[in-house]
């Protein structure tokens, strides 16, 4: 279990390098579509477990997931998603799938 400050709890791959390389290739191929709109200089490969809830709830989520780790899986596709509109003034936005690309 890892954290971005105390706002996001997440898990990541044991080897980040293939995911970082794929992210770099996609960003170079589509420079107008920077990951996270270019807000984060370092794009960390991760799976979000909890985000933006009370710290006690995030800690509880982390403890619920911890016994399930490590997860053994193979990435077989890349999913392109779009996130909430950053100009949105009220309520949470939703992530939506735009396309999926098989790997291999």
Instruction: Spell out the residues 6+ positions from residue 79 whose beta carbon is closer than 8 angstroms to its own.
Output: 97, 99, 100, 101
83 is a domain residue? no
Per-state percent for the chain, helix, strand, coil, to nearest 5 = 30, 25, 45
24 is a domain residue? yes
Q: What are the pLDDT digits (tens) for 28-78?
A: 988 888 888 888 889 999 999 999 889 999 999 999 999 999 999 888 998
pLDDT score of 17 more than 70? yes
> CA Rg, the chain, in Å?
15
Domain assignment of residue 9, given as a range: 2-74
Contact 101, 78 (CB under 8 A): yes
85 is a domain residue? no
pLDDT score of 5 more than 90? yes
Total domains, the chain: 1
């Amino acid at each position: 279990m890892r954290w971005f400050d105390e706002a996001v709890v997440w898990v990541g791959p044991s080897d980040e390098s293939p995911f970082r390389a794929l992210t770099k290739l996609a960003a170079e191929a589509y420079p107008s579509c920077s990951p996270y709109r270019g807000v984060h200089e370092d794009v960390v490969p991760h799976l979000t477990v909890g985000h933006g809830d009370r710290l006690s709830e995030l800690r509880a989520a982390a403890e619920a997931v911890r016994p399930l780790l490590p997860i053994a899986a193979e990435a077989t596709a890349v999913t392109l998603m779009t996130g909430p509109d950053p100009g949105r003034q009220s309520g949470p936005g939703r992530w939506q799938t735009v396309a999926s690309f098989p790997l291999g």
